[in-house]
Amino acid sequence: MQLFADASQRLEKALQYVDLPEDALAYLRHPKSSLAVSIPVRMDDGSLRVFQGYRVRYDDTRGPTKGGVRYHPHVSQDEVQSLAFWMTFKCAVLDLPFGGGKGGITLDPKSLSKMELERLSRGYIDAIADFIGPDVDILAPDVYTNPMIMGWMMDQYNVIQRRIERAVVTGKPISMGGSAGRDTATGLGAFMTIDAIAPLLELTPSDTTVAIQGFGNAGSILAVELAKAGYRIVAVSDSQGGIYASQGLDIPSIVHYKDSNRRINAVYCEGSVCSVVEHAIISNEDLLALDVDILIPAALENQITDANAHRIRAKYIFEVANGPISSAADEVLKQNGTLIFPDILVNAGGVTVSYFEWVQNRSGLYWSEAEVYTQLKKRMVRATEEIWQISQQQGISLRTAGYVLALERIGEAISAKGTRDYYVH
């Protein structure tokens, strides 16, 4: 099944729990606009390569579309459309004045030099400049894109427009108008969700085991925060594989080691001296099947499907990646009693602080990291509590509850413009 068709099944499930105007449903079944572009890039050796790029604006009922740009070999029109679909609901869940957008380029970014990456990033903006803008569609970092790449994109847009438009891109370097706290926002937001819900689940951090698949920016930041709070993180992994230690891992040491060596290892560090501690080498598949209290998929989509869902033994799953669990796997996990906290809530910290950055760019007034943290926590805790209450009151899954909350807000915005009921009655 294609990713978008699978993602759409979540929408269908939520529709029976919300009184949505027919017009809203008609809007939400299709993206507002999609763009596919070819990006010619002169390589360092003089050769010319043409890369495929995409941008989708899914729905802008509540405001300009907002979403990241990812660089990955598996980027496709279907994937980008699915991610834009999820962003639409994520923004509504957090009550942000945005719709959902997403973009990407199909490539292995590790195979390009820094200069080639810059030419590619600027070429992407050249190709989509008429499709984006601070009041139309706002870009942000995603998989294998970072503040420097966002800075290149903003600068190229400014060159094309012949004026400074900081708010067209978020996740920029602070020196170029970025927001304090943006680089850690996704991981921090996920931690705030776990921290807010732990008392309701009667979880005591020191007695709670955690496994994290994906030790990139979001996964590593979340791991650091969980370790600080006393959770026992027994396994982490990246694209090359994972490590497991039943007694728990020293997360700050692993972060330090990865920053220096670009790979993970079960180490304990004192200053700059690191020594390997007892551990087992495991695969990403093995990590997903560990007997832990909390499983955190923080890598890519479709990591848990109907093919491996029966192996999952975690009591709770917090989705830090976008779409890591297929709709078929949802059903298997539900039958096994696993409670899933959905991506449209758990990883919404990034887009929330991107919204703060956009607000700061538009106003010219910039916030401290403490102010950003305070405002992020308010929104993450409120959204967590709202979804939990809907789930409990209606007896539905947390994922469906998240879509119900989002659909109610999107439906209100569509109704405000006039629907069939207004014109017919």
Task: Work out the number of other CB atoms within 10 angstroms of the CB of residue 228.
Answer: 12
Which of these is catalytic: 66, 90, 102, 172?
102
Can you name the residues that pair with 139 across neighbouring β-strands?
67, 169
Between 349-363 and 77-93, two packed helices, what is the crossing angle to 10 degrees?
80
Is 61:30 a contact under the CB 8 Å cutoff?
A: no
Q: Give the torsion through C-alpha atoms of 314, 319, 322, 325, to 10 deg.
A: 30
- Is residue 72 within 8 Å of residue 66, measured between CB atoms? no
Alpha helices, H only, 94-162: 114-128, 147-161
Q: How far apart are CA 295 and CA 189, in angstroms?
A: 16
Characterize the bridge pairing of strands 232-238 and 209-213. Answer: parallel
Q: Looking only at Cα atoms, what is the longest distance across the chain?
A: 75
- Dihedrals phi, psi of 58, to nearest 5 degrees: -80, -50
Contact 315, 290 (CB under 8 A): no
Residues shown for the chain: 425
Active site residue 102: yes
User: So which residues are the catalytic ones?
Assistant: 102
